């Protein structure tokens, strides 16, 4: 399995209406990862946008599901089936308002919490361990949750979020190199 391909998926919603919203933090992180490694994520496939390349010599497929958040698992499992990628070689990046803005957390198991995108992924991959990179967008302000996650990210928060996206990319690079433990030690304690 050492030479197998990794699937790296960034959850979010497609279309201009959702660009630059909190709920697209996972999508933004994977887009940034593609930029870092010269991987174009433009091909329409697996009900999403995808691109293939390498990170430090390791083959990766980047995926931005276009199914809307609540059906993310469908896009991810189509890509897994096509490439015969086992769950442990799938990394899912997504926003989390239970984590403070600027923080990321790496785990390979657990519930989806209140995140509908992860609920969808876990409905296809129940009981499977796979790396997840949660990107903090919290704390949740008073008011409507959906209104908040679909709101545009204010300029004042952008620098902090951009640092978290960079950390998420660094974490993914460590994971595909086989160093998830180091990624967890480095980022889960950061504060």
Three-class secondary structure of residue 107 per DSSP: strand
Q: Which two tokens stand for residue 127?
A: 């009981």
Q: Which two tokens stand for residue 49?
A: 């946008």
The torsion defined by the Cα of 101, 106, 111 and 117, in degrees rounded to 10, comes to 60
**What DSSP element (H or E) covers 61?**
strand 58-65
CA–CA distance, 66 with 12 (Å, rounded to integer): 8
Across 65-80, b (16+ Cβ under 10 Å) vs e yields bbbbbebbbbbbbbbb
Strands 43-45 and 6-10: unpaired
CA–CA distance, 9 with 113 (Å, rounded to integer): 18
CA–CA distance, 144 with 9 (Å, rounded to integer): 27
Concerning whether 128 is annotated as a catalytic residue, the answer is no
Out of 23, 37, 115, 128, which one is annotated catalytic? 23
Question: Which residues on neighbouring strands pair with residue 90, listed in sequence order?
Answer: 7
> What are the catalytic residues?
23
């Amino acid at each position: 399995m050492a030479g197998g391909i990794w699937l790296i998926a960034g959850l979010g919603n497609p279309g201009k209406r959702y660009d630059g919203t909190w709920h697209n933090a996972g999508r933004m992180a994977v887009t940034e990862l593609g930029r870092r490694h010269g991987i174009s994520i433009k091909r329409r496939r697996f009900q999403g946008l995808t691109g293939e390349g390498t990170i430090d010599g390791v083959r990766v497929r980047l995926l931005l599901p276009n199914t809307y958040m609540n059906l993310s698992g469908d896009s991810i499992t189509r890509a897994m089936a096509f490439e015969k990628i086992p769950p442990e070689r799938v990394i899912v990046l997504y926003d989390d308002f239970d984590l403070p803005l600027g923080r990321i957390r790496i785990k390979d198991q657990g519930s989806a919490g209140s995140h509908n995108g992860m609920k969808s992924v876990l409905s296809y991959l129940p009981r499977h361990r796979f790396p997840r990179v949660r990107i903090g967008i919290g704390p949740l302000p008073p008011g409507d949750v959906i209104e908040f996650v679909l709101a545009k990210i204010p300029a004042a928060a952008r620098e902090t979020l951009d640092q978290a996206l960079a950390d998420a990319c660094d974490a993914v690079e460590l994971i595909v190199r086989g160093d998830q433990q180091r990624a967890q030690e480095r980022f889960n304690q950061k504060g």
